[in-house]
Structure 1
Amino acid sequence: MKSSSQLDIMLREIDHKGYPAYKSLKGAYDFGDYSLSIDHVQGDPFASPSRLTIHITDKASGFSPDLWRTPDRKTAFCDFLLRRFAKEIQEYSFQARGSGKSGALFTTRPGQEVLGRTACTIDRDSHTILVRFEAGFPANGRTINARELKKILFDYLPRAVKNALYSRNTDQKALRNAIDLYEDQQALRILLTENELAAFVADGAVLPRRSGVSNAPLPGAVPFSSPDSLRISLTLPHRGTVTGMGIRRGITLIVGGGYHGKSTLLKALEAGVYNHVSGDGREFVITDATAVKLRAEEGRVVKKVDISPFINHLPNKKDTRLFSTEDASGSTSQAAGVVEGMEAGTGLFLIDEDTCATNFMVRDELMQRVIAPDKEPITPFLARIRPLYEEYGISTILVVGSSGAFFRKADTIIQMDSYHAVDITDFAKKEAALVPAAEKDVPFPSVNLSRRLCLSAGKREDSRGVKIRTMGKDSLSFDRETIDLRYVEQLVDEEQTRALGSILQYLVIHGHPDASLSDQLRHLYETLTSEGLESIVSSDCPPFLALPRLQEIFACVNRCRF
């Protein structure tokens, strides 16, 4: 490792030279309390900024290793530090001037969710805190402006490190509260399982968001209050007792008039698979961590999925036990989504009828009279929803506003009335008993959940050089193949999508065509959660990756067209 003084000399030597001379700076430098590694140098001032990493030991930072002694604490601690560091370097971004991206300083600016990220992590062996970021190396035209880079490396960055990454400058109470909150949320997830709950919504939670482009809580929103009949109390290790609505496993309907808060509640439950920062309003809206939002997705690819529990006897004689298509219909895509969710290990489906294929969900009595059963290849979800729970243990929370056909099947029926939750189970079940049943339960047949990995073997040799690009969180380009993730609605961060690209790259190289997709992805996810995303990428770890759930990894692989 070179000294910071040597870096200073090198900067003076390359000043005013052509931009490629910056590449000579690649390496590690000792700045006393921390070291700085220049991992990648951009090719010109208009290219993606250079990548750098701060390395600071626990002894130098003053933080006790107890703060990250468990995976939960590590995630919360790193998230806390990253938010501080992001705020600090934002103050200095573009203060160093020049052409193109000169002077830009970027790192992850986390949203409302607390996620494991490569932008801030801790080396398990050395207890060194690693903070990754990008910097636009300054230039005049395409000529090096080393004096401006010296401002960044010797002035702005040391100040940001001092203010954000040293214990002596940290609000210890705020740090402790962040870690305690995360541990409470994880404890609540365990309590869901122990109490046979699919989800929990705390009294006082703020569910509506500020806008379609802001995930912050809506000011002045009606706080959530549980119906008395569904209210439970749970004890958390730090916060103590919390009260709220416990949604039991089984089949739960959310009903009510338009604009009364049905979809708002479901959206909060979708987001409840993640932990949230203090002030989000949904800190104690906790959902089964394996929950999957299920919807129709016309036009998506489906590869060798057994959709026969829902679709069979097609007029074209196509085998639905091993169904593939490049252009799925609403019903076939939703049928595939159910089976793929089962394969990914979900314990809960979240469904909004507004985004479903109607013919997949239900057939009313008149339609059954007009279209003979032997002419209808679809067994609707209504007929399978109860067996899905009783035979496979998979619960469903379903928003319905136009069809009462599911009332007979439900265990719990919650009406949203002007954003207030009301338990109407007894009343709705009595009314449903007066109406002929729309569909009888049909036992759920055995289904193939052991598909083989289907990524193209032809890409294996050169996949290390594959270009991976994201277009927001909804689209991933992998070697010029576009993977549409718009309807994988529980992806919450573009960095998760970017990580999916790295995961695909790893699978293309290391995947085994003869092993089941389920076994491989589960094994890979265990590695990611225990060793971090760094374990599957090169030594030059990308700074901006966030850990997706196992369910989103399955969803991404299932939407690959190669």
Structure 2
Amino acid sequence: MRTRETLERTLAQLDGRGYASYKQLHGSYDLGSCQLAIDHVQVDPYAPPSKVRAIVDRATSDLPKELIDTPAHRVAVADFLTRRFRDAIDRLAPRPSGGGGGPISIGAPGQQVLARTSVLIADDRVEARFQVELPAAGRRALGRNAARLLTETVPAIVEASLRHANLDAEALRRHVELYLDQEALRSALPERGLVAFVGDGAVLPRRSGDSDLPLTDGATVFESPPSLRVSFDLPSGRSVTGMGVPAGITLIVGGGYHGKSTLLRAIERGVYPHLAGDGREWVVTSPEAVTIRAEDGRAVTGVDISPFITNLPAGTDTTRFTSTNASGSTSQAANLVEAVEAGAALLLIDEDTSATNFMIRDQRMRHLIPADREPITPFVDRIRPLHNERGVSTILVAGGSGAFFDVADQVIALDAYVPRDVTAAAREIAASDPAGSGVEAGSGPAAARSGPVFDSSLPRIPTAEALRPRGKGKPAKARGRTAIQYGHETIELSALAQLVDPAQTTAIAHILDRLASRLDGRLTLAEAVTELYRQIADDGLDAVSPHTGHPGILALPRRHEVHAAVNRYRELALRPPR
């Protein structure tokens, strides 16, 4: 291993030379307070930044053993250290006043606590993985500036963020405790017959439509209706009380702008633990919850949408439905079936982002268009069999129709963000005015089929070449949070509301490349994804990276979003059924 003096001397010699001369830096250096590993050097000033690791031994870091003795503890501690590292960057290597990124980056963790590659806590060391934009003037290396950055600024950042003696020990302990409590509550939901929990005192509104930060002025805090209030005792000794959402079919109703969608969005993000102060710390949702919406124009490959759509005029087989440009109703049917295939136990649906003809079909339209001429059986007719046959619950926002009153197990009304249990009133309305909603259940060819509705799907088995397109010479690459470049195709992910961090999208891109080598024409997509996630559980998220040393800035996505990415790949090929 080379010394700090060697690094300083080399950089002094590179000063003013061509940028490519920075390649000499590749390797490891002992800086005294930490080891610096330069794993990848950017090729020019406009290329992706250099990948660098700062490593301190466990004795130097001195993290309390009781805070890092399980994988869950380490996720929480690594998240805390990542945030402290980023805080130290802001103090010691700030962004230019004109805007843009700074010379050092470790990612931008949001309000959620995710498993990340940014900080590794191993038995013998603590390692920060970050990126450095090596300084330049045009295409000339500024070696002396780089020396100050790597031998002075980076060690100062490491000292401030990776040594327990320099951290707020009580804040670290509370961070870990909150994470473990949230995960314990999530694990306890099934035994209580619940799919979600919204704590009393929660602040659900966000500052704006493009911000995930809590609204601080004038926000109404959440208070559970008495009939739905439950309490949990947590490992820390804390007790929390709030609204338990039972398994089954839950309808959220209310006037416009009264908080229906805000509540659903909070439940949607409740699949992840949140930071203290976020307002949604105690909004905890089943990890198998998936948001379903219409998605005009998406590709669909070999999906059995026959529970909802059949007898199409052109005679298209809807048990293996394929389209390069699905309509709103067809895309929503495919999204739902794919989510169930991926293991969804709870569907989250908002009428504002749904295709009306997928959700309901009113009585007047049924009279005008005979049942045998309408290929769509709406969701209102399938929501109960979905739960009875597959155990899949639904939380549905509806503000414009009472069609779901007849099938709802509980109905929650939002009035100026205050929830009320109006289940009894909704049932009385449904019983006294069965035609009042304008919806008559059980029409359409799909509704007429006998026996179970959701047990006939054929296994979807990708071909061995399904993720190996001709001409794909480069690894898959994330384009921000909402897209992946895969060969010549762009996989559009903007409809995946529970994909919250660009680092998750980067991880999905690497996962797709790993899946490509696992598909053999025999494994179903679900089996291949399960196998890969088993490896991630054993070896960590580093296992999906194509890089040695520094794995890149990754955050763990859910397997549901991995399924969704594969299903939106336009060149996906499935093995024909036998």
Name the TM-score class by shorter chain.
over 0.9
1:505 to 506, 513, 520: 513
Shift of the alpha carbon at 1:481? 1.3
CA distance, structure 2, for counterparts of residue 138 and residue 356 of structure 1: 49
What is the rounded CA distance, in whole Å, between the counterparts of 1:268 and 1:491 in structure 2? 14
8 Å contact kept, 2:53–2:550: no
CA contact (8 A) 1:225 1:244 kept: yes
SS at match of 1:497: helix
3-state DSSP of counterpart to 2:556: coil
For normalisation by structure 1, the TM-score amounts to 0.95
The whole-number CA distance in structure 2 between the counterparts of 1:245 and 1:375 is 43
Contact in 2 for aligned 1:4/1:31 (Cα 8 Å) = yes
CA 1:194–1:445 in 2, change beyond 3 Å: closer, same or farther?
Answer: closer
SS of structure 2 residue aligned to 1:304: strand
Aligned residue among 152, 160, 164 for 1:163:
160
Which residue of structure 2 aligns with residue 492 of structure 1? Answer: 500
**Structure 1 residue 516 and structure 2 residue 524: aligned?**
yes
State which of 552, 555, 559 in structure 1 corresponds to 2:561.
552
What corresponds to 2:181 in structure 1? 184
**What does 1:303-318 correspond to in 2, within 5 Å?**
303-318=301-316
In structure 1, distance between residues paired with 2:347 and 2:454: 18
Which residue pairs with 1:106 in the alignment? 105
**Could you tell which deviates more after superposition, 234-243 or 389-398?**
234-243
Q: Deviations over 1:162-217 (max 9, x none)?
A: 11110111111110100000000001011111101010000000000011222111
Question: Aligned equivalents of 1:445 and 1:107: distance in 2?
Answer: 45
Report the AA paired with residue 370 of structure 1.
L
2: distance between equivalents of 1:435 and 1:41? 71
> How many residue pairs get matched?
557
Correspondent of 2:544 among 524, 536, 539: 536
Structure 2 CA distance for aligned equivalents of residues 25 and 414 of structure 1: 61
Q: Distance in 1 between matches of 2:132 and 2:96?
A: 10
Q: Secondary structure at the match of 1:351?
A: strand
Maintained 8 Å contact 1:455/1:560: no
Q: Which amino acid aligns with 1:500?
A: I
1:106-141 C-alpha deviation (Å, 9 max, x unpaired): 111211000111111223xx4322211111112233
The corresponding residue for 1:2 is 2
Out of 327, 330, 341, the residue aligned to residue 329 of structure 1 is 327
Within 5 A, what are the aligned runs for 1:132-531? 132-219=129-216, 220-436=218-434, 438-440=439-441, 443-448=452-457, 450-453=459-462, 456-457=465-466, 459=468, 465-466=474-475, 468-470=477-479, 472-531=480-539
Cα pair distance change 1:50/1:513, threshold 3 Å:
same
Q: 1:387 to 1:101 in 2, by over 3 A?
A: closer
1:53 aligned partner: 53
What is the aligned-residue RMSD (CA, Å)?
2.1
Q: Distance in 2 between matches of 1:347 and 1:489?
A: 17
Question: How far 1:268 sits from its partner (Å)?
Answer: 0.4
Give how far 1:312 is off: 0.6
| 1:23-42 superposed matches below 5 A | 23-42=23-42
- Is the 1:343–1:449 contact (alpha carbons within 8 Å) kept by the matching residues of 2? no
**Which one-letter code corresponds to 1:210 in the other structure?**
R
Other structure's SS at 2:207 match: strand
**Cα contact 2:385–2:453 (8 A) shared by 1:** yes
Residue 213 of structure 2 aligns to a residue in which SS? Answer: strand
- Asked whether the equivalents of residues 507 and 544 of structure 2 are also in contact (C-alpha less than 8 Å), the reply is no
Distance verdict in 2 for CA 1:491–1:544, change over 3 Å? same
Asked if the contact 1:58–1:64 (Cα under 8 Å) also holds between the matched residues in 2, the reply is: no
Q: Is the CA contact 2:232–2:241 (under 8 Å) kept in the aligned structure 1?
A: yes
How much identity, in percent, do the aligned residues show?
Answer: 46
Secondary structure, counterpart of 2:432 in structure 1: coil
Instruction: Tell me the residue number matched to 2:114.
Output: 115
Deviation at 1:467, TM superposition (A): 5.2
SS of the counterpart of 2:21? helix
Letter paired with 1:189 = R
Q: Which residue matches 2:575? A: none
The range that moved more, 503-512 or 388-397, is 503-512
Is the Cα–Cα contact under 8 Å of residues 521 and 550 in structure 1 kept in the other structure? yes
Partners of 1:102 and 1:253 in 2: how far apart? 44
Distance 1:135 1:43 in 2: 12
The alpha-carbon deviation at position 5 of structure 1 amounts to: 2.2
| More off after superposition, 499-508 vs 11-20 | 11-20
Separation of aligned partners in 1, 2:207 and 2:464: 40
Distance 1:275 1:127 in 2: 28
Aligned-partner SS, 1:224: coil
- In structure 1, stretches of 5+ residues that fail to align are none
For the Cα contact (< 8 Å) 1:460–1:509, is it kept in 2?
no
The Cα of 1:239 is off from its aligned counterpart by: 4.7
SS at match of 2:112: coil
Distance verdict in 2 for CA 1:208–1:363, change over 3 Å:
same
Q: 1:230 to 1:92 in 2, by over 3 A?
A: same
Change (3 A) 1:517 1:204: same
Q: In structure 2, what is the equivalent of residue 87 of structure 1?
A: 87
Q: Which residue in 1 is equivalent to 2:576?
A: none
Aligned equivalent of 2:18: 18
- 1:416 and 1:96 map into 2 onto residues whose CA distance is 45
Q: What is the distance in 1 between the residues matched to 2:468 and 2:383?
A: 40
1:279-326 CA distance string (max 9 Å, x none) = 000001001111010111110000100111111111111100101000
Which amino acid counterpart does residue 468 of structure 1 have in structure 2? K
Quote the Cα distance in structure 1 between the aligned partners of 2:350 and 2:157.
Answer: 45
Distance 1:540 1:456, change over 3 A: farther
